[in-house]
Chain A
């Protein structure tokens, strides 16, 4: 216990606080908070998707540049690296288009 009953300051603060609580009026309802929570969840999801998209575009661009730099696979040792690098950008683009369609359909 923080305040023994003999502590006048604690008693005054407590009495004042109780009165403040008694006269406090909250204007919004639980339903409003449910809506706000729902909106917040959607916004969080949208933020996450946007970050994934940004990262994906950067990866795709880096992979595309690396693939162009190496050129078309010639069957040598570099093919092992080149094929996935050349495939990554179109795959990412397809994925993004698919995701966008899914989001549009969900909305």
Chain B
């Protein structure tokens, strides 16, 4: 891959990809590792279709598959005493803020981040890819290694869970009077 073409692709995709991976893994270091590996694969074995939109989709799919492999490995070997470096969801993805943010926009951000972090890794990937990146069901299925029918069901469940989490966060004491 030409350095100039790679640089253009990198500039266009780095922030969306890192934001996705950081939110999906809840671990900034792991997100950076996965993203670097995706770019290394792009450099070493670039896809045939080099249009910017295809490259973006290819990178999203590759990063998601790398994450899936990581989680599988973590599930399989996570209990081994020497596999602590496989662990995700431990890193400082988001700084803890003891004070509630002052403005409404920041409150909304924190609320959604909090609800989002309560989902499973797959649900986080699904919601982000569907609603932030705007992937359709076929692209989601390809990225996550699922059937299209399963994507619909899993996306529906992820939405329900997110909605429930937001409801609970917005209204922590339902029916409770002061």
Give chain A's interface residues, CB within 8 Å of chain B: 1-3, 9-10, 12-22, 24-26, 28, 30, 33-34, 36-37, 40-41
- Please, could you name 14 A-B residue pairs with CB atoms under 8 Å apart, sorted by A? A1-B134, A2-B131, A9-B131, A12-B108, A12-B166, A14-B132, A17-B131, A20-B19, A24-B15, A24-B22, A28-B36, A33-B40, A34-B6, A37-B39
- Contact between A2 and B43 (Cβ–Cβ < 8 Å)? no
Give the chain A neighbours of B18 by CB distance below 8 A: 24, 26
Main secondary structure of the interface of A (DSSP, over half): helix
Residues in A whose Cβ lies below 8 Å from that of B162: 9, 13
CA distance A36 to B38 in the complex (A): 11
In angstroms, how far is the closest chain A Cβ from the Cβ of B84?
Answer: 23
Q: Which residues of A contact B19 (CB under 8 A)?
A: 17, 20-21, 24
Q: Using A12-B112, A21-B16 as known contacts, say yes or no to A2 and B40 having CB atoms under 8 A apart.
A: no
| Residue B128 interfacial (CB < 8 Å) | yes
| Cα distance A9–B127 in the bound complex, in angstroms | 10
Beyond A3-B131, A16-B112, A26-B14, whether A33 also contacts B23 by CB under 8 A is no
